[in-house]
Amino acid sequence: MTLNEAIEHAEQVACDLDAADGKTPAAFREQEQGQSCAECAAEHRQLAEWLRELSVRRMVAGTEHDELIRRANQHYGMSYTCQVAMEECGELIAAISHFLRMRPGALENLAEELADVRLMSERIIAQFGLGLEVRRWHAQKLMRMERRIRGEE
């Protein structure tokens, strides 16, 4: 069984339990054991949610992530990737402005736009093979930030 199949199975069981509502032998047994169909359905939904989270974590941490980035760059091409990256940077600027002006839903929008810019940064880094250089610059910027916080710069 694959992870996606497990997610689908858990969701299907949750739906079946909701529909059964004590009408099937299995549901009757569960009720006799002191657990209602609704509780069991909720547990299966929770299981499906955890499995989805695992799926996302695997995607972000593993080679699937790098492969997906590579395929996206191949599909869209360098010029379009750079255009979208510029648009996403603009959307992040607007999101920060809306957050500072305390617009409703601004924090959620800020999170979405940060994710967009992060994703487009990852795509540009992959497109131009800049992983090592960006990590080196990042480390230098972190050290400079620390010096400034300490008042040494």
List contacts with Mg ion (CB under 5 A).
Answer: 88, 91, 113, 116
Please, which residue, 8 or 91, has the CB nearer to Mg ion?
91
Give the long-range contacts of residues 43-51, CB within 8 A, separation 24 or more. Answer: 44/10, 44/11, 44/13, 44/14, 44/17, 45/10, 45/11, 45/14, 47/10, 48/7, 48/10, 48/11, 48/14, 51/3, 51/6, 51/7, 51/10
* Min CB(119)–Mg ion separation in Å: 9
Q: Residue 98: CB partners within 8 Å, gap ≥ 6? A: 106, 109, 110
Kindly tell me which of 11 and 88 has the beta carbon lying closer to Mg ion: 88
Least CB distance to Mg ion at residue 50 (A): 28
Q: For Mg ion, which is the closer residue by CB, 20 or 84?
A: 84
Which pair of structure tokens corresponds to residue 7? 């997610």
In this complex, which beta carbon is closest to Mg ion, that of residue 43 or of residue 91?
91
Are the beta carbons of 37 and 31 closer than 8 angstroms? yes
State both tokens at 138.
């990042």
Q: How far is the CB of 107 from Mg ion (least distance, A)?
A: 15
Kindly state the smallest distance separating residue 88's Cβ from Mg ion, in Å.
Answer: 5
Least separation in angstroms between CB 152 and Mg ion: 37
Between 43 and 112, CB nearer to Mg ion: 112
